Chain A
Amino acid sequence: MLIDLILILPLTSILLSLLFRWSVVLGATLAFFNLALLIFGIVLAFNIETTGPVTAIDATFYADSLSSFMVIVIGLISFLSSLFSIRFSIKELAKNQSTLLEISRYTLLTQIFIFTMLFAVVSSSVAMIWVAVEATTIATTFLVGFRKNKKALEASWKYIIICSVGVGLAFVGTLFFYFASAHIGGPISSSRPVSLDWTFLIKNSKKLNPQIIKFGFGFILLGYGTKTGLAPMHSWLPDAHSQAPAPVSALMSGVLITVAFYTILRFKAITDIAVGRWFSQDLLIAVGLLSLLLATSLLITQKEIKRMLAYHSIEHMALIALGAAAGSEIAIAAVLLHILGHGLVKAILFIASGEMLITEGSTEIAKLKSLLTHKPLLGGIFGVGLLALLGLPPFSLFTSEFAMMKSEISVGLGWVVGISLVLMAVIFGVVVSHARHILVGESSGRQTLKTSKLSNPIRASRLTTTPLVLGLILSAAIGVVSWPLQTLLLSAAKVISG
């Protein structure tokens, strides 16, 4: 029942945004719906905690604690993003940068986007997950190209081409899983594809042919890895995330990539049982370290905030991949906590950067100066967000990174931790240096302040900053207080680590 509700909610949103043109009321309603989504997610999690996994519509949809966790993440970030969407839309209309039609279309696509992600996490069949993930690409292409200028179009072109190819490869991988499953007597081609069901696969994973699974998992990792932003097909990510409007970037960087990783996790669970943990471990380490190296190298000379944040997403996905490589229950729990923490903080940062675009007119590092001096709250949010992103306590990323690395060492991957710590230190230095350029400083900041005072300054809106501050507090809270998240994380991790 809850699953139905969770799917009906965004469907209603889609319907609403189809029927009505955008207005503040519609925006607020959608935000409220997304909040409801978050609440339903939490309720669902509690439900599952007490009664076990739930299914809906003839087991087409299935939710265990992992799914419910992902629903919470999606709900949370969607809520933040839709709140900022209101501010974004008002500004767009006020500045005559977009027409009402465009905004309405944007709202519709965003809601579809949210729906497809939800669909992905509550689908019982791995093939349907694929369909949903591919659908996210379609829904977001126009969102990436929202500006319709040269850069935006280029980004959306790259985005759809690279992601289609990648996700196509993931489909090949799915086919091989299906192939393996079919050979152990899973029913083929009936109207309800039981043999592609997650529950069926995990139950029978011991019997699956390891070589085919290996082959399939390679494709899965390459394919969904593309969507997650892992090497080698990560290249679309900085372009798309930087060109999309801030609320969409928040959604993409905050949840979309982790939804893709969620899929990898599911397949990993099957592969681990069928082949043995070493296999996915080796692959994930290779991919993770490569991505981390790429993210680090490319962060060094960043000139634009949103691109910087996008590379940061690659870094965190790489960390998550390394954490998943460790594979123990704590490691997976930490990975999930990291998914939540990263999503939250990254969404906050993207929204803050959107606010910067509104108030400062640019997100280029060179053009932004001494934000802390003349916009203390926005600058403070951005700065604290960056600190959180860099894995400093009390924010949850610290806890999750700590736990992931600890588990990595405990399965004998000390060298991985060593390398990643060195790379992360470089990232730390680079990001701090960028942050210094953006946030800190004196003289020029004062000049900007003066000039902006003359020409009707745009102040950061409370509508934006209040949820962001609350989000940061939440991020700190989940990093400090165990209850009640830890139980959920551990039971969700059990789904993967067995």
Chain B
Amino acid sequence: MHLLFYSFLVGSIGSFASLVLTKKYRNKFASFCVVLEGLICSYESLSIISSGKTTTFNSNQLLPFFGIRLSLDPLSAYFILITSLLAIAVGIYQLGYIRHSTKAKTPTFIYPFFFTSMVLVPISNSVATFMASWEIMAITSILLVLTDHAKNNNSGHATQWYALMTHLGAASIFIGFLILSLGTKHQQFSSIVMSSSSLSTIEKSLAFFLLFIGFASKAGATPFHVWLPRAHPQAPSPVSAMMSGAMVNLGIYGIIKTGMTLIKVSEGWWWIVVIAIGTISAIYGALQCVTNSDIKKLLAYSTIDNVGLMIIGIGASGLLATAKDEKFALFMISGVLFQMLAHSIFKGLLFLSAGSIQYSTGSLNLDQLGGLLKKIPLTSTCLLIGAFSISALPPFSGFSSEWVLFEGLFRSILHLSGVNRLAVLFGLSGFALASGLTATAFVKTTGIGLLGVARSSHAETAKEVPPTMLFSTFLLALSCLVIGIVPGYFLKLTMKSSQLLFPAKKLSPNFKYGSIDLPNLATNIDPLLLLVLFTIALLMILLLLKAAIKRKVRITNSWGCGNEYSNSKTQYTATSFAEPLQRVFADVIRPDQDLVVSHVEESRFYVNNITYSNLSQDSIERFVYVPIKRAVTTWGKFASQMQNGSTHRYLSLGFIVLLIVILVLS
């Protein structure tokens, strides 16, 4: 625990030093401090996970009226671990990135605090402490999203959405916690856990759903997600990486914490709702991910998709726990945590690679990119590895984690009954559709962005990014590969962390060579073996071909069906790539399509110009949030008549109330 405080100190030193130091040393020192903070935190969390102990820290000197209460257990340590690992990579990345992106001191100043608050959230042990660190996390991230506001008009809008949604979420969490703490007459989480059974079902359900909505909105679950695809793309890439890779996890943490520890005995139907939300998020996120052409926006939507998968897993685990099948509940929740680890790493990688692409080309619009694999091979390779991971291709991390998730869901279907089973089946279908769509989306991203010919001068003149950025992305890419190849070691870690949730049951995993082999599953995977087999096959084929055929390759033009005018413009674009799926799911996506044909003056049979536009907006935003916004504005306009400037009207209000006072109070 104390190590964590030292790490906070290191971070703060870095951040304050960035205010004082000259431009030359500012970034270096701040990044160094962040990396150091990350290292200390990850060391501490690893040691906590391996020892399985819980340490606490209480102080009344801070936070008036409430005091701070902290408690570090293996579960929170796991979240800290993920956050710190990502923070280390991002810290290194920033060395190269910040230099060109912004001259202001603010991001370097705020970033360590953002990190610190993300460490504080999982170790908060009382309502007030939690809310304070939660809000600090929100505020720092809001400020970080604003970093590029001077260059980018959208970031203001994004921030506005983000701030509002995060505030609503916090309000929901706040009421939920208050219901819990007043129902149990306790402030501290550890005490709430003890006496949560004294709550009535209605209280519990109300608290659960308020908390769930709050946390789900932070995690970005549909329909509370609208801020996410706006804020994540607008933030500078290192920040997006942290937000998508680490901050979103804390929403998941909140859901797990609420449903599995704070409220000890949960109701089955809650989890069915949770699964439904998860499924909708997964499908909706994946769909929007497919149809968007802006890399970072697409990545943000895929975060929603992945969060959906995790929420489905949590729901299934909750159902298993209510059905007293704790063994598989534990397995399922470990799967969720594993998926989270994988997601954090590959999403961090993808966002950082996207940042690198933006850095070297100045654009993130897939329709303007192309041919990057030849121009910036190293960055492109990193992006490819990220894309393969997220598409769940073996042997990368996404495959292993989704395998565990799938097995968990399969087990849930086997072990549950009735409507619960149907719910999980529903979730599994969503999981399947989402994973298919994700693969499509990332074929689009890599295929359109990295392959083919440059579609604009942006991509034409791309140059490789500085070594620090490359190093950071390679680090993450390597982690993707390692997690994918030896998932056993990591699953063991997640099981140890989640053991806390179901202390009674123990799985006896057999993780030889990092493979996943559980006796209860009756199946196993060994990605390492698969990789070895694949490599052997690949090498043998190549050797055979080399031995048998010794012809050189002739380089020619692309075969465009004899078209004499083919150029980079005739390529498929990201928009056209997604068009079939967009058409299939038109009812959900509701794209704004517009075709304007203008004719020459003389005859309407001669076309002068055809303009086709295809805008896919977030339909949930359009049909849920925008009407609310409009209603509020209308109300405001109406209400402003109250204050029309007439002294007489103002006074007559008082007069009426005075009469009422005289009449009523005597």
A residues engaging B (CB < 8 A)? 157-158, 161-162, 165-166, 169, 211, 214-215, 218-219, 222, 226, 232-233, 235-236, 238, 294, 297-301, 330, 333-334, 337, 370, 372-373, 376, 380, 387, 390, 392-394, 396, 398-399, 402-403, 405-406, 409-410, 414, 417-418, 421-422, 424-426, 428-430, 432-433, 436, 439-443, 445, 478-483, 485-486, 489
Contact = CB atoms under 8 A, between A and B. Distances in A.
A409 B178 contact: yes
24 contacts: A157-B647, A158-B647, A215-B665, A215-B666, A235-B650, A235-B653, A299-B636, A380-B106, A399-B65, A399-B66, A403-B64, A406-B178, A406-B181, A417-B175, A417-B178, A425-B171, A426-B632, A429-B167, A429-B629, A445-B150, A479-B64, A480-B62, A480-B63, A486-B64
A222 B658 contact: yes
Contact of B651 (A162, A334, A406, A428): A162
Nearest to B178: A409
B265 to A, nearest CB: 23
B640 A442 contact: no
Contacts of A430: 632, 636
Interface string B616-644: 00000000000001001101111110110
A297 B642 contact: yes
A436 B152 contact: no
Interface in B134-188: 135-136, 138-139, 146, 149-153, 155-157, 159-160, 163-164, 167-168, 171, 174-175, 178-179, 181-182
Contact of B167 (A294, A425, A442): A425
Contacts of A390: 167
Nearest to B165: A429
A402 B639 contact: no
B654 A238 contact: no
A482 B653 CA distance: 42
Contacts of A373: 149-150
Nearest to A333: B65
Contact of B139 (A233, A330, A393, A425): A393
B653 A233 contact: yes
B64 A399 contact: yes
Contacts of A403: 64-66
B647 A161 contact: yes
A330 B65 CA distance: 7
Contacts of B171: 421-422, 424-425
B496 to A, nearest CB: 33
B178 A478 contact: no
B657 interface: yes
A472 to B, nearest CB: 13
B149 A158 contact: no
B661 A236 contact: no
B62 A481 contact: yes
Contact of B150 (A372, A409, A418, A479): A372
A367 B107 CA distance: 27
Contacts of A479: 64
B532 to A, nearest CB: 52
A418 B174 CA distance: 10
A222 B149 contact: no
B132 A442 contact: no
Tell me the dominant secondary structure on chain B's binding face. Answer: helix
Contact of A482 (B61, B638, B640): B61
A483 B64 CA distance: 8
A71 B639 CA distance: 37
Given A232-B654, A301-B636, A392-B138, A441 B153 contact: yes
A406 B62 CA distance: 18
A406 B500 CA distance: 30
Contacts of A301: 633, 636-637, 640
B158 to A, nearest CB: 10
B153 A442 contact: yes
A393 B104 CA distance: 23
A393 B135 contact: yes
Contacts of B647: 157-158, 161-162
Given A297-B642, A393-B135, A433 B182 contact: no
Contact of B163 (A161, A393, A399, A432): A432
| Interface-central residue, B61, B182, B643, B649, by most chain A CB under 10 Å | B643
Interface string B511-539: 00000000000000000000000000000
B603 interface: no
A403 B651 CA distance: 35
Given A300-B632, A392-B135, A442-B153, A482 B643 contact: no
A482 B642 contact: no
B60 interface: yes
B299 to A, nearest CB: 23
A436 B149 CA distance: 10
B329 interface: no
B65 A169 contact: no
A157 B647 CA distance: 9
B370 to A, nearest CB: 28
Given A442-B151, A445-B150, A482 B62 contact: yes
B639 A410 contact: no
B642 A233 contact: no
Nearest 3 pairs of A and B residues by beta carbon: A300-B636, A297-B639, A440-B156
B131 interface: yes
Contact of A294 (B65, B164, B178, B642): B642
B650 A337 contact: no
Contact of B65 (A370, A481, A486): A486
B150 A370 contact: yes
A215 B60 CA distance: 42
Nearest to A294: B642
B128 interface: yes
A233 B653 CA distance: 7
Given A409-B178, A425-B164, A482 B64 contact: yes
B580 interface: no
Contacts of A486: 64-65
A218 B664 CA distance: 10
Given A165-B651, A425-B171, A432 B64 contact: no
